Chains A and B, each alone.
Chain A
């Protein structure tokens, strides 16, 4: 059983396109996150949602728009893709906000050409 799943696993697209990444968790967690991992493996928080409400927006360009239709889903839409958006994007979830361990999805490798 997959706890945190993301689709697609790989995404290759041209500059200027719009794309979405989907995330679902079946753990019953209240909080979900998006992280970006760059080519040097550095991991940085982008967004966090708690019970469908945005609680962290970490100075991410407004071309990135997360959407949480329900507690189990957190999608990431990216407009006007740029070369610098190439990275691995990880979705994660935790039981609640605070200090619970976060469980990560398998990642989506986005390549912008």
Chain B
């Protein structure tokens, strides 16, 4: 299986700090997609973003931004001016096997303290 690696198990920051969550993926495909999901303490999985490999432009959505670097097989996620409500487990994922089964990274638990 083509893996997704989130090396940071837990990150702890103080409110208003910027924080970057790392995601490194394996691929043998020329075309592929990458995803980020958020799992807050309430437990649901919330879709954040889908990017395709053709588009290497950085994506920004409010305080969230994503940096896609094909050269290093990375798709990192930055939260600017973090808030307590950003506390969650964040998952990076990619489809695999041609059937849209999502392969998830192990997740990074982000704790934002007041």
Binding site for B on A (CB under 8 A): 31, 33, 35, 40-45, 48, 55-56, 58, 88, 90, 92, 94, 97-107, 109
Tally A-B pairs: CB < 8 A: 63
Chain B nearest CB: distance from A108 CB in Å? Answer: 10
Given contacts A41-B109, A99-B33, A102-B47, 12 further A-B contacts (CB under 8 A): A35-B102, A45-B103, A56-B101, A90-B45, A92-B45, A94-B100, A98-B100, A99-B52, A99-B100, A101-B47, A101-B50, A104-B37
Chain B residues close to A by CB (< 8 Å)? 32-33, 35, 37, 39, 43-47, 50, 52, 89, 91, 93, 95, 97, 99-104, 106-107, 109
Overall SS of chain B's interface: strand
Within the complex, the shortest CB–CB distance from B98 to chain A, in Å, comes to 8
* Cβ-defined partner of B101 (8 Å) among A33, A40, A42, A90: A33
